[in-house]
Amino acid sequence: MSMNDKTAATVSEDFGRLADGSSAKLYSLVNANGLQAKISDYGATLVQLLVPDRQGRLADIVLGYHSLADYLTDSAYFGSTIGRYCNRIAAGRFTLQGSTYTLATDAGGACSLHGGKQGFDKKRWRAEYLRDTLHLHYRSRDGEEGYPGNLDVCVSYRLTDDNALTIDYRASTDQATVVNLTNHAYFNLRGEGNGDILQHRLQLNADTYLPVDAKMLPTGELRPVADTAFDFRQMSAIGARIDTGDEQLVRGGGYDHNWVLNKPATGSDYALAARVTEPQSGRVMEVWTSQPGVQFYSANFLDRRRPGKSGVPYGPRSALCLETQHFPDSPNQPHFPTTTLLPGDIYRAKTAYKFSLK
């Protein structure tokens, strides 16, 4: 197959061996402008994303590893699909239709994070390439990680010719359950391994955010961003206010909060959530989503544990995550938009990361 052939996008490579002896794969998507994404069926993970700068030079703008072995043992969720419930559920417990469910929690028991011990990021997905889209399927069994109901999930990646990486999510269940899916890509628009993101400029289309308690769980309040370090309604450098001593920022070691996205007057669910610009390279990323919230995480907990793809270990604030999602702990916060999925209903969500230059 020639590389100019559009179907070359189906090209897959071996990515390494899983504990059960099977091998994970890496699938490539390319678009007409030379953007390229590599996605693994392990964790439905975005492993690489090549995007040009002002001079037309491609750089890989997502953090991650070359080898599957690193993904198997790492806990940063680089580029992973997160489920069944991304972000936190207080005390790893929730009640649904009169039954209480218990999930694996972190060591202190404060919460269940990102789906539990073996979330969707640690599963092998079934890959299917149709037209220009990579579909990844996973069946999460009733009781897996403590969640009720067999859940069939499909995550679809596509690289469009207007330079957007789109991620579509679908799920259905045979029992009432809770679902909150996201992608946990860590972006550095200067290129992964190329310094911190404090000079990146960010705009978030949100008038309120969810403050957290000492355990990093939302208190339930929707707090106006006005006159706080959380006001990104106008473009602002990420580093401008990150170390101002704000109690919320001290709790997170930086930004690690969910913003409540403003919805357009048109009533459409799908809207521009965020815009990021990187002055040196000229790269611009817009985030469009149908989700009600976005977790902006300034990678505060990265600890230079091991070298990333370019050989440079990733430290705190060497990337930013914009994880589009429903609000954390929604199953225990009745006034948050519901994350309950019932049999017969379909969970749908869509996010696009769209690239341009400035």
* Interaction of residue 295 with ligand BGC, rule CB under 6 A: yes
Site stretch for ligand BGC (CB under 6 A), options 133-141, 237-245, 294-302, 349-357: 294-302
Mark whether 323 is an active-site residue.
yes
Tell me: does residue 314 bind ligand BGC (CB under 6 A): no
Q: Which is nearer to ligand BGC, 27 or 296 (CB)?
A: 296
**Contact pick of 71, 77, 169, 259 for ligand BGC (by CB under 6 A):** 77
Nearer to ligand BGC, 46 or 134 (CB): 46
Q: Check residue 256 for interaction with ligand BGC (CB under 6 A).
A: yes
Q: Give the binding range for ligand BGC (CB under 6 A) out of 135-143, 150-158, 279-287, 295-303.
A: 295-303
Residue placing its CB nearer to ligand BGC in the complex, 58 or 110: 110
Site size for ligand BGC, by CB under 6 A? 9
- Annotated active-site residue in 114, 135, 184, 326: 184
Return the residue of 34, 128, 250, 301 that touches ligand BGC, per CB under 6 A. Answer: 301
For residue 214, CA distances in Å to 122, 171, 218, 246, 258 come to 28, 33, 10, 13, 15
Interface residue list for ligand BGC (CB under 6 A): 76-77, 87, 114, 256, 295, 297, 301, 323
> Active-site residues: which are they?
184, 323
